[in-house]
Structure 1
Amino acid sequence: MLRMTIAAVALAIAAPALAETLTVDNIVALVSAGISDDAVIAKIKSSGTRFDLTTDQMILLKSKGVSGAVISAMLADNGAPAAARAPAMSMDSPDPMVPHPAGVYLLSSTGAGRRMQRIDPTVTNQAKTGGIFGYALTGGIASMSIKAAIQNETARVHAQENKPSFYFFFDESNPDTARMATAWAAGTAATVSSPSEFTLIKLMKKDGRREARVGSANIGGAKTGVMDKDRIAFDYEMVRPGVYRVTPLQELPTGEYGFIYAIAGGGAAGAMTARIFDFSI
């Protein structure tokens, strides 16, 4: 009988490399063998076991001589190591329940299966004007357009479908990393927390660049922001706190597109600036 008890204790305090999961019976065996509370609590913390004790189980443990300190350690969240509590961060997992760094992702299909593609924001601090001739010829009756330009004729991220799905991961989705620099940490957009703060637009291809119309002016006044007729409707739903699935309401023809936000006038020499998460179809 003594040998059996010694064997049970030896198994309960086995090396962490065995990744042992403790049970209530293991705890009772350790306490019955005379192991100190400090040692039992240390074992609980190092094992990473998380106990979900019922009231009856707690009463039974107490009747078996298990102290309140050990029972508290069994109930505590810190009984599991940090690595066991927090799933690993991923850049391409297609599962939105898996933590991702904050930003905009395209859900794409490849030969290896589905994966997330992160879309890095493109920032412009250059504004161009169009329709100046008509504006001047009509004395300001015809509108002059104001366009924000971004580099390159096509985006780095390419969607294979005409009605692609996107996932927006905001800081709320990763509280542990919210203090780090993120895709949103720029100017007044640092507090962005919903896809409703974005506008989906089609970008116009020019020689060596793409342009987005972000304002207009005529004799009646000036407007700043994306024109209503340039907006592309999309819908979104919350998957979990801080994570949203975004889909266009209609199929998008082949071309260049982007989610735009943070239009301001604080760029170089007062030029209009915008942040665009660009992609192509």
Structure 2
Amino acid sequence: MFKSICLLIGLTFTVATAIAQEVITNESIINMVRAKVARDLVLDKIKASASRFNMSTNGLIELKQATVPDPIVDAMMLASSPLPTLRNQDIIDLYAGKVSREIITKKIQYSETSFNLSTDDIITLKNAKVPDQLVKVMMVPKRAQQQSANPNLIAGALPPHPETLPIATRNRFAEPGIYYEEYKTPKPQYMQLEPTTTNQTKTGSVGEAVANNYTMGITGTTQRVGLANKSANMVVEDNRPVFYLVFSGANRKTMNNVAESVFDGVASPNDFVMIRAKVSGRGREVVIGRQSSYTSESGFGTGAVPFRFKKISNTLYKLYFEQDVAAGEYAFLYNKGSEFGSSLKIYDFSLRNNTK
């Protein structure tokens, strides 16, 4: 047993040493992009390797000219610390070099800055056709931190929800489902979250697969499901959203055909979980389990956001939060591992507010 453990440790050390031997540069990334290496594999390579990237203004322009995708450039900047100090001319050169506004904004976020923004300097930026949005970020660099860290952040406080559901509304929900209480209008409106069914199950990343193979399954892999697009169609502006779950009155406690008709077979809100999705260059992802040689876990643990609920009637529940919920991408999911093999009924929404 001791010899086996030593062998596994030795294999892991050998793999880590082999990966660390190569120091990757801008040229390494450009060569992989030109060879049409998958984006996820390039990102895993950046995470697993020592690097010496040139993240100067000229370096970023060179990457743009080589058509390196923005998510890869972002990962390269995150792997490079410290970044060169930014000045006005850098912003002018980056924009003239057709570097995207998103990357320029993130460059401001990740760097020390020394901007001059006198009247004459602003006129110079305007003459160089630098967009007003970037000039505003240069005026308040912290704005870039908020925009880059979470695109769903908005300014200003939001009013609280009504204390109770109006009696006249209780029996007027059109059908079973999840409804958001839109309360900023004179009379609260109840907006139904449309379900999205996905079976796009993914098992681990390339990096996880390599480590799992060389450690004979000790490190394990994660199981995830993907959602198209970086944000949901349903947009909610709220610090503490309130939802109502409306169940079917017939056979509510019979777990029948859940994947096809969730609200005909769910016992209570305890059968649901609200998850914060991870946004990537390819859309959104939710972790639904993890498996290794020694453990196998199903269910939504990573990114789960606890909520409270109150029973209003036999088929109606109010869902609420005791603390502000950070801006981001979220989804309600039916939390029964036995259903994962068929399809997942997902009720997704974008939450925009002033809470990080």
**TM superposition score normalised by structure 1:** 0.56
Q: Aligned equivalents of 1:265 and 1:188: distance in 2?
A: 13
Q: Are the aligned partners of 2:248 and 2:315 in contact in 1 as well (CA < 8 Å)?
A: yes
Q: 1:169 aligned to 2:246?
A: yes
What is residue 276 of structure 1 aligned with on the other side? 346
Query: Structure 1 residue 240 and structure 2 residue 313: aligned?
Result: yes
Q: CA deviation at 1:221?
A: 3.0
Once superposed, which parts of structure 1, at least 4 consecutive aligned residues long, lie more than 6 Å away?
none
CA distance in 2, matches of 1:209, 1:149: 7
Q: Which residue of 1 aligns with 2:203?
A: 129
1:222 is aligned to 2:293: no
Correspondence for 1:196 among 247, 256, 270: 270
From 303, 317, 332, the counterpart of 1:259? 332
Indicate if the aligned counterparts of 1:104 and 1:169 stay in contact, CA closer than 8 A: yes
**Distance in 2 (alpha carbons) for counterparts of 1:238 and 1:155:** 28
- Does 1:141 find its partner at 2:218? yes
Letter in 2 for 1:274: L
1:256 and 1:95, CA in 2 relative to 1: closer, same or farther beyond 3 A? Answer: farther
Alignment CA distance shift 1:209-1:165 (3 Å): same
Task: Look up the match of 1:18.
Answer: none
Question: Cα distance, 1:137 vs. partner?
Answer: 3.5
1:103 to 177, 185, 198: 177
CA distance in 1, matches of 2:323, 2:213: 37
Q: How many residues align?
A: 175
Query: Does the aligned pair in 1 maintain the 2:277–2:303 contact within 8 Å?
Result: no
Instruction: Give the 3 Å change call, closer, same or farther, for CA 244–187 of structure 1 in structure 2.
Output: closer
- Residue 171 of structure 1 aligns to a residue whose secondary structure is coil
Gaps of 5+ in 2: 1-165, 352-356
Distance between the aligned counterparts of 2:192 and 2:169, measured in 1?
13
Greater fraction strand: 1
Equivalent-residue separation in structure 2 for 1:214 and 1:255 (angstroms): 19
Would the alpha carbon gap of residues 247 and 106 (structure 1) be closer, same or farther in structure 2, given more than 3 Å must change?
A: same
Q: Judge conservation of contact 2:176–2:263 (CA < 8 Å) in 1.
A: no
Cα gap change, 1:188 to 1:252, in 2 (>3 Å):
closer
Mind listing any 5+ residue stretches in structure 1 that lack a counterpart?
1-92, 268-272
Structure (1 or 2) with the greater helix fraction: 2
In 2, Cα distance between the equivalents of 1:96 and 1:185?
28
CA contact (8 A) 1:135 1:144 kept: yes
Percent of residue pairs bearing the same amino acid type:
25
For 1:230 and 1:128, how far apart are their aligned partners in 2? 17
Alpha-carbon displacement from aligned partner over 1:15-46 (angstroms, at most 9, x marks no partner) = xxxxxxxxxxxxxxxxxxxxxxxxxxxxxxxx
Contact 2:247 2:316 in 1 (8 A): yes
> How far apart, CA to CA, are the structure 2 residues paired with 1:218 and 1:184?
28
Structure with greater Cα Rg: 1
> Given residue 293 of structure 2, which amino acid in structure 1 is its aligned partner?
I
* Counterpart residue number, 2:286: 212
Q: Distance in 2 between matches of 1:127 and 1:185?
A: 15
Q: After TM superposition, give the deviation of residue 216 of structure 1 in Å.
A: 0.6
Correspondence for 2:304 among 217, 222, 231: 231
Q: State the TM-score, normalizing by the size of structure 2.
A: 0.45
Q: For residue 118 of structure 1, what is the aligned residue in structure 2?
A: 192
For the Cα contact (< 8 Å) 1:232–1:248, is it kept in 2? no
Q: Structure 1 pair 217/94, CA: closer, same or farther in 2 (3 Å)?
A: farther
Residues of 1 paired with 2:243 and 2:306: CA distance? 14
Say whether the 8 Å CA contact 1:117–1:157 is kept in structure 2: no
Is residue 154 from structure 1 mapped to residue 238 from structure 2 by the alignment? no
Q: In the superposition, relative to structure 1, how do residues 97 and 111 fare at CA in structure 2: closer, same or farther (>3 Å)? A: closer
Q: How far has the Cα of 1:110 moved from its partner?
A: 4.1
